[in-house]
Structure 1
Amino acid sequence: MPKNTKPAAQSGAKATAKSGAAAEPGAPAKSRKPFLIGAAVLVAAGVLGMASYRATSPDAKPTVNDAASTSAPTAGGYPELAGLARRDAKDPLAQGRPDAPVVMIEYADFKCSYCGKFARDTEPALVKKYVDKGTLRIEWRNFPIFGAESEAAARGAWAAGQQGRFRQFHAAAYAQGSKEKGFGGDRLKALAEEAGVPDASRFAADLDSDAAKAAVKKDQEEAYGLGATSTPSFLINGTPIAGAQPMDAFARTIDAAAAAAGPAGGTGKK
C-alpha cells in the first residue's frame, strides 16, 4: 500500500494498514479490531477498502468517481452495505428524513483536512439540493484515526449531540483553521460554547462518559470492519465513495440511488 504523501490530487486522509492509526507523526498506534457485520457484508465491503486505496494513491484523480462508476454492480449499490443505514429518527448525529430514499453514511475524523474540505465545500450544497428536499439523509459515523485528540473530538461531537448541537459543533470543529488549534480539553469546551451547547457541565460529563467512548468505538469498528483505510469514506445506499470527491461525483451517485429506489424508496428500517 502506498505511503500517504498527500499529493495535490489526493482526496482523503490515509490510515496505516498495519496499525489503523493515521500516518501522522506522534499519532499513537491503534489496534484494528474488525466489526462483526456478517460474511455477506464483509465480502461486499472489500470494495470500500479498494476505493480508499485508490482515492489516496499518488495517481488518484478525484475528478473521477471510481467507486460509483466501477465498483457497485447496480445503481442501487450493495444491499448488504445499504443495510448499515440506521434510519433512527432520534439519532442526534444525523440530518434528513429517516425515510429518505437515499442514505449517505459518512465516516470521518475532525483532524482530517479532507473531511474539513468536504464539510465546508461540498456538504452544504448536498444539504440544499437533496437533504432539504427529502431525497437524502446523512448519517455521521465517528472514525477517529489521528490519535488521542481525534478520539476526544469525536467524543465531544457525540456529547454536543446529546444536547441537540451536533451540527453546530461539527461546523465549528471544521471551520477553516480550527484543526490547527487542536482538540485538547479547553479547546473542546470552547467549541461547545461556540456551538451553543446549553449545559457546559453536562457536556463535560458526557465527553468523558463510558457511553461516549462506546458510541465512538462502535462507529470506528464499523468503519474498520468495512475495510475503510481513509477519511472521509462514504456509503450511499451501499455504493462506496472514498475521499473528498467533487460535488458531481456525489450528485451522480445520489441521483442514481434515488432513481433505483423508485417511489417505494426509503421504506427501510426506522
Structure 2
Amino acid sequence: MAATATSTTSSQGMQAYAAPSLFQPHRARDAIRDAHQKKIRPLLCYYAGLSSLPITRFLAPMNYDAVWIDWEHSSCNVETMTSMVHEAIFMSQGATIPFVRVPGHDHAAIGYALDAGASIVVPQVDTVEQAKHVVSAAKFGSKQRGTRSAPPFRLIPGITDQAFDATRDIHQNLNDQAAIMIQIESLEGINNLDAILTEVPDIDIVWLGALDARVSMNLSGNMAGQEKEWLEAKEKFFSIIDKHDKPYGGFAFVEPPFGGPGAIKEAAKRMSFITCSADVLHLAAVAGDLQKAKEAIGQV
C-alpha cells in the first residue's frame, strides 16, 4: 500500500512511512518507491561507519531520512547493532529509517537486522542464486519463497503487533515494510544483474559498490576512474537499472573534497537514496584542526 505523496507527506518526512509501532520496520519499500517515482525527494542518508551508540543517539534528532549502519565493516555484535537501530528509530521519533548493511549473506544475520526493526543492505550479490537466498531469508511464508523464522517475542500481542493493513496478518505486512537493498560490487555482479532483477523482483533498490567493483577488476582502489573497462561496466549497470525501472542508491556528499551541492543536485536526478554525509568523514576532519592549530602557534 503506497503512501500518497502530499504536502503532509513532505512535511512529515519518513514519519509518514512509520509503521503502527516504532518496534516495527518503517514502510521503507513504499518510501523508496515514492522517491523513485518522484513523488517525494530522494531519501537523504548518513553513513554510520562507527559502532557507536552515543553518536547514533546524538545524530538521531537531526532527522536524516535514513541511517546506514555498517555491520559489515565495523566491530559490532548483534546487541550493539540492535541498540543502534532502536536509537535511530526512537530518538528520531520515527523520522529516520535504519538500514543495516549485514555482514555477508548469512541467514541469521539478515534475520537479526530485520527483527531489530531495520531494512537491510546486502553486500556482494553476484549471482541469481545469491539474490534468491537473500530474499528468501528476508521474507516470511512460502508464497514469498520465504524461509525467515517468525520471532515469537519481538512484538507484544495487542500492543506493538498492529498491522498497517488490517486485511492481512502482521507477517504479510512486515514482508511489505522492510526494504531490501543489494550491492553490486564486482564485474560478475554487473554481468548477472539483468538476470538477478528478472528472476528476483522483490529486490527494492540497487547500489553500485564502485570501490569493490574496481578492486575486483584490478583497477585502482577509488570510487571513480576513466578506464575504458570501468566506463563500459558502469554503462552496462545503468542500462540494466533503467531497463528494469529499478531504484538506485549511492554516495553524493555535500562538501569537498568528496562532493558539493552540484553533486547532490545531479545525483537526485537518478538516485532514490543518497548517502550525503558520514560520521567517519567528519571525525577525520579533526586532523585538519590539529594541523591548523600547530601552524597558528608556529615553531617554538
Fold shared, TM-score > 0.5 on shorter chain: no
Question: Which one has more relative contact order, counting CA pairs under 8 Å at least 6 apart?
Answer: 1
Give the alignment's TM-score, normalised by structure 2. 0.29
Give the alignment's TM-score, normalised by structure 1. 0.31
Structure showing greater radius of gyration is 2
